[in-house]
Amino acid sequence: MDSRLRIANQAVQPVLVMFPLGLFAMAVLFDLGDLLGGPEILGALAYWNIVAGLVGGVLAALAAAVDLIFVPNGTPEKRIGVLQSLANMGVLILFAVILMLRMRTPDRVIGGGLLLVELLALAGAVLGAWYGGKMVSRRTPAYTRAGAASRGYRTR
């Protein structure tokens, strides 16, 4: 599936997905450190990482929706794109629920149960990003084709 939303001839959505993924991963690490007896600020850092991750996730979802509009209906790419978007929205919903539950405590910390939910949501986000990367990377990159052609190999 080719992305229609591009900047400098590079797809925007795969780049935008990496920001929330990194922010959510750091939130899980901060929460793990907080639960293992680290400084109290780790809970607040995790909270704000989730906030920023949700903002980035919404932007990535909007970019994916723009790309998905241009895929013809009834194609496998459309089905895969819709399923990936639904999975990513599920991850965003899980982190939004975690964020709302954290808002009830004054220091924004969580317990062990919510950490497990965070780990589950993070695993879903990693799986969605990996699957999206596999879907996009079906084509051979241009630098690989150019190098193979210069060495005398056939390219597509």
Average pLDDT over residues 40-48: 91
Task: Flag whether 155 is in a domain.
Answer: no
Domain count, the chain: 1
Between 15 and 141, name the one with better pLDDT. Answer: 15
Task: Flag whether 71 is in a domain.
Answer: yes
Residue 80 belongs to domain spanning: 6-150
Query: What's the predicted TM-score (pTM) here?
Result: 0.77
Maximum average pLDDT range among 5-9, 92-96, 151-155? 92-96
17: confidence class by pLDDT, cuts 50, 70, 90: confident
Distance CA 62, CA 54 (A): 12
Please count the helices (runs of H) and the strands (runs of E) in the chain: 5, 2
In whole numbers, what is the pLDDT of the chain averaged over residues? 81
Helices 41-69 and 13-35 meet at what angle, rounded to 10? Answer: 160
